[in-house]
Structure formats: C-alpha cells, structure tokens
Amino acid sequence: MNDRQNPNPDELLERATQSLRQATVPDGPPRETVTNLLAVLTRAAYQPRTLTFRERVFAMRPITKIALAATVLSALCGLFAWMTSDGGSTGVAFGEVAQHVLRARTMTWKQTVTRPGGDSMVSEFAYKEPGLMRQETRGQLAPGQPGEVTFVYDFGQAKMLTLDSRTKSGSFRNLGTLPEKPLRLLMDRGWRLKALFDRDGTPLGEKKIRGRRAKGFQVMHDLQVTDIWVDAESGSPLLIDTWNPSGVSFVISDLVLDQELDDSLFSLTPPADYRVPKTAKEARMPSFGEADLTRGLRFLAEYNGNVFPSQLGLTPEIARNIKQAQEKETLSRTEAGAIFSGFQRFLLFTESSNWHYAGKDVKLDTPDRPIFWYKPAGSESYRVIDADLSVKKAMPADLPE
C-alpha cells in the first residue's frame, strides 16, 4: 500500500536525517563578516612572515594544545549547526517535531470542529498509552443538536462509555466487533493524531500565531490536507488545521505532551447519579461499496485535469481546484463531502494488503488500462478497475505487473 497507517518510531532517525538534508542552507555568512575577513587577509599579506599554525602548535605546552583542540572542536560544531540550520536562523525540522509527538506517552489537546454555516463543537481530549482516551464534547453535536457528552475509551478492553450530562444518562459500547484498523481510524483520536506526524511534512514558511513565531508544515493524508504549525524555536505544536472537501474544519490547539494523567480520568465506572444500562451495544462498521471507489477515482481525475494523480488521494493541485470550484459554486460541499466520505471509507476500511493503485498520469476514460485492483473479503479473485472505470474479474496470476 502507498499510505503509511501506523506510526513507526523505528523510522524517526531516517526521517529526521531526511529533514536535515532538506533544510535550507544559507548562501553564506553575513556580508559584514566577509568584508572583515577580507580586510584581515589583506593586512596579513603585507606583514612579515610569522610561524605557521603547525609550527606554533608543536611549540605549545601539552595543556595549551588540549585547550586549542577543544576550541577548534567547538567552533566546528557551531559551524555545522549554522550550515544546517534554516537560513542561518534558529529553527526546527519536521522530523524533530515528529520525534517528540510519536514518543509521547500522554497527550492533551483541544479540537474545534466547524461546519459550513458556522455550527461548531469543541472537544477536550486526554490520551494515555496504552489505549486510554477521554473526550469531553460540547456545542453542536450535530446540525441543530446542542449537547454536552463525555466519551471514555479503553481500547485494550475494547469498551467505550458514553455519558450525557444533560440527561444524566449513558451507555456502554462493545468495540470488540470491529477489526483493529477500522477501530483505530474511527475512534482512536490519539493514534490518528500521532499518525499525522508519521508522514513527510512540506515546509509552508513562517507566520505569527498568538504572538509567537511559527513554522508550518503541510501533510497530505487520508484524503485530507493538514497544516501543522509549530513554535519556530522549541518545535512545540501550536496549531493543527485540517481541511477536507466537505468544508468541515478541524482545528487542534493547546497540545501538551507527557504531563501526568491520573487513571481515574479513564475509568469505565459511571457516576452514581447516572442511569447507564449494563448491556453494551455493539459497534458497527460504516457501510461502503465498490460504487464509492469508482466515484472517488473519477472525482480525483476530474479535478486533476482528467488525469489520475500520482498518489491515491488529495494533492495540493487537486485541493486547490476543489476549493476554486466550491468558491465559484460549481461544486457543492455536500456533494464533495459525500463522494470523499464514501471513497475514504472504502480505502481505509478495506484491508491494505488487498488493493493496489497504478493510475499515475493515466488519462481518465482510457480503455483497457488497469489503474486499481483489490481482493474482496472471502474471494479468490480480484476486482480490476480500468481508467474508463469499467470493472472486471481477474485471478492473481492474471493481475497487471
């Protein structure tokens, strides 16, 4: 599969190294420094010969040699740091930020969800590994439906407790009926937040956030675009802003890593004054089908100049074209949201090892040109989708190479 789903701390060193290699290297030292250096060299050219550096070193006492070596080493380290920094200024690379987030044992954050039209809800999250999460949500839980609800998750026990503070009622839900991957994607917000940092971030430049200088990185994931803004000095995440074609905005702020969180926050024991049936409801998978897949493939191609993109998801160009169409009101957010919701469910909840995308740079409606194939659960054969979005069966031996 082309998309990485699970945060993999083993890749952090490689990703941090790659970020270092991609960091902007300044053109050179400041003009004043160069001018002063040339002046010194010019004066030296007209002075009588003195002992060479090597001759002077050999003439030094041992203790002086050690001090000189330490000074030179310090200067070299400083020069290396200056050369590999962003434009000669203090800064951070995305790989450095990712290390802190992926290694965090606890996290707390605030998430604001805003729908087209202005309805919004605010959730405060507390997350503790392994697999404990608390979510307190208030506001418009659905369009026109205000509420205040608390969700407590124990993914190790595959259980969830819901508490409605307005009605003093609640319910248990059994999560064990869901496969691990859909369970994480549907409900484990801590895992999904970490997954954002297990991808390559494209630099966005700098701006001020609440009076602090912030560096931005953009991540394309799960058919969404996320801008991650971090403190330019410390690397602490300041703001995480996610956009998708439905027009719903997800903004994460106030992210705190590795603070002490008491286990009582994640207790599945309901308050004594709440009415909570002991029988747990069964969690269900969202529905999706092959039609969701073909609609999504066509949508991506149409907003990419009628050519299938290099990756199976949003690219900066596709996102820009969708936004422009929505601004011109030639594409409704409701329509785009419905298409991408179904497309996302198919890609995320279908077993990753059972599908393959090969549509890069292929023109839409090209006949007899396979761009996607997958193996339905329990089937011995694959379903192969051509660029004209026709579908046919194929055995493993007959799949495109």
pLDDT digits (tens, 9 = 90+) for 206-241: 999 988 999 999 988 767 889 999 998 888 899 999
CA end-to-end span of the chain: 15
CB atoms within 10 A of CB 60: 12
pLDDT at res. 88: 38
Q: 88 and 82 in contact (C-beta within 8 Å)?
A: yes
Residue 318 to residue 217: CA distance in whole angstroms: 18
Phi and psi, residue 64, nearest 5°: -70, -35
Residue that has been written with the tokens 């590994």 in this structure: 129
CA distance 313 to 357: 11
* Cα–Cα distance for residue pair 357/335, rounded to 1 Å: 24
Does residue 178 carry a pLDDT above 50?
A: yes
CA angle centred on 49, ends 46 and 54, rounded to 5°: 130
Those residues with Cβ within 8 angstroms of residue 286's Cβ, 6 or more apart along the chain or in another chain: 186, 345, 349
pLDDT tens for each residue of 20-49: 444 444 444 444 444 344 444 444 443 444
d(CA 161, CA 71): 61
pTM above 0.85, yes or no: no
In tens, the pLDDT along 125-168 reads: 999 998 899 999 987 666 666 778 999 999 888 899 999 988 89
State the amino acid at position 200 in one-letter form.
Answer: D
> What are the φ/ψ torsions at residue 122 (nearest 5 degrees)?
-120, 130
pLDDT tens-digit readout, 7-17: 444 454 444 44
Question: 3 phi and psi, to 5 degrees?
Answer: -105, 130
In angstroms, the CA 181 to CA 21 distance is 33
Cα separation, 150 vs 334, in Å, equals: 28
- Say which residue the tokens 């979510």 belong to: 135
Task: Delineate the domains of the chain, giving CATH numbers in brackets.
Answer: 9-90 (no CATH), 96-201+249-282 (2.50.20.10), 290-398 (no CATH)
Instruction: Report d(CA 220, CA 227) in Å as an integer.
Output: 9
Residues 6 or more apart in contact with residue 98 via CB below 8 angstroms: 12, 15, 16, 197, 198, 201
pLDDT in tens, 295-337: 999 999 999 999 999 888 888 889 889 989 988 889 888 888 8
d(CA 140, CA 121) in angstroms, rounded, equals: 5
Q: pLDDT value at position 353?
A: 55
